[in-house]
Structure 1
Amino acid sequence: MSITTVASQVNAPMPTSRVIHCYVTEAKYAFLRAIRNPGFSIPTLLFPLMFYLLVGFVFRAFQATDPNVSFFMFCGFATMAAMTPGMFGFGIGFALEREQGLFRYKRAVPMPPFAALLASVAMSVVSTAIAVTLMAGAALALGSVKLSILQVLTVVAVVSLGAIPFCSIGLWLGSICSGRAAPAITNVIYIVLIYFSGLFIPLPEGIRVVVLGSPAFYLDQLALASIGAQNFIVGSAVNHVVVLLGVTVLFLGLATRRLAREG
């Protein structure tokens, strides 16, 4: 076998089946790694359900006569479930990977260039789907929200895909923060986005306009529309989708530019 033949085999493109296998395998182990980490899995999968039940029983939200109140609370916690894995998985996890050199290592190993990124996004989407499904199961069992199976599937799909913009925000945070600073900064931004989106408590009239600056508001609006809530819908679904797509592209671009400087 000549040197030319060997070189051509080394430089030959990877078969499509192997590329797909790489993406699937990376996504599988990204999810298993996240689930086996109690510091990530418990807040991501169980906290939305726990807070939903706590607020529903303690503040008697489950006893509200207006069904839109129950929809409002359910979609608020579903939106929170979508924010958590992306912002913390990328915002903190990626910052630690950069600091420990794992990011450079992943770029050096012979794997598809976007496999690790897409695996983490898939992990966030699946984690959100599980968390919202648990919430929906509890809501249906308690009778706090009247939803059909189609409505449950729709809201789970909408909110799960809505986790992607928060993955891009988390990626940007992870690209600019050190591993030590990332938890504090991510938590502050997470709380600010939740509060100023009016997910759980309508903001005072004088500052209500600030909700338009929070991506969580637009995802919450899509979730409310998907289950048929009426009194809380602002604007059209198309506008909300466009804003979330814009947020995704913007922060993904900012993160890419920041990481390109690191070489």
Structure 2
Amino acid sequence: MSVFPDRFAGQVAVVTGGASGLGLASAKRIVAEGGKVALWDVDPEALAAAKHGIGAAHVVALDVSDQPAVESAAVATFEAFGRIDVLVASAGITGATKPAHEFPIDSWLRVIDINLNGIFYCARAVVPYMLRHGYGRIVNVASVAGKEGNPNASAYSASKAGVIGFTKSLGKELAGSGIIANALTPATFDSPILNQLPKSQVEYMRSRIPMGRLGEVEESAAMVCFMASEECSFTTAATFDTSGGRTTF
């Protein structure tokens, strides 16, 4: 897959969930394209490995559902670099695989707290620094489940629908500021998050993709990096699909 040298030269990107999966793949590409990356992730060991593996400039171990920790991470990142140009908010979990009437309350609350509240906390913390420079790109990772819903995944589907709605609101609020906010809505792709699901659920999601295969993380990372770049200049409050034909709206 082609890399565009210097596309992010002079820019600083915060990537949440940056120690694995789509977050790590996106961060790796941003670094390869000249940017500096701050990885925020809940797993300190994975963060250390990711920092060494891709040459990340800054790492913070945190849970994105911890609002004070997110605020502190934004302060620390800004103090380290003097700017924040890009936010890729990809931290997320799947939650339980149960019908809604049997869905565990604690799992519901945890999914909403990380997948939706965490997106809000990160944007709330980072946008003021972007406003100082009159420039920013925000990529919130949602899911096709937020458009169509997946059975036995009500919390995940609801949280990702919330991410889409939040991004539409945020993008319109910031449209005249130089800050662009969009959501990525991928179908299932090969990622460590699949380890949280039973194989039957993964196979169901594969069966919904007209191309007949799971996505590859690099395919979504390529879209993330376009969305995070200056090239994405006249689309905001929108969704970009990497769904193999599953969603066409």
Global fold match (TM > 0.5): no
Normalised by the length of structure 1, the TM-score is: 0.29
Q: Bigger radius of gyration, 1 or 2?
A: 1
Could you say which structure has the greater relative contact order, defined with CA pairs below 8 angstroms and 6 or more residues apart?
Answer: 1
Larger fraction in strand: 2
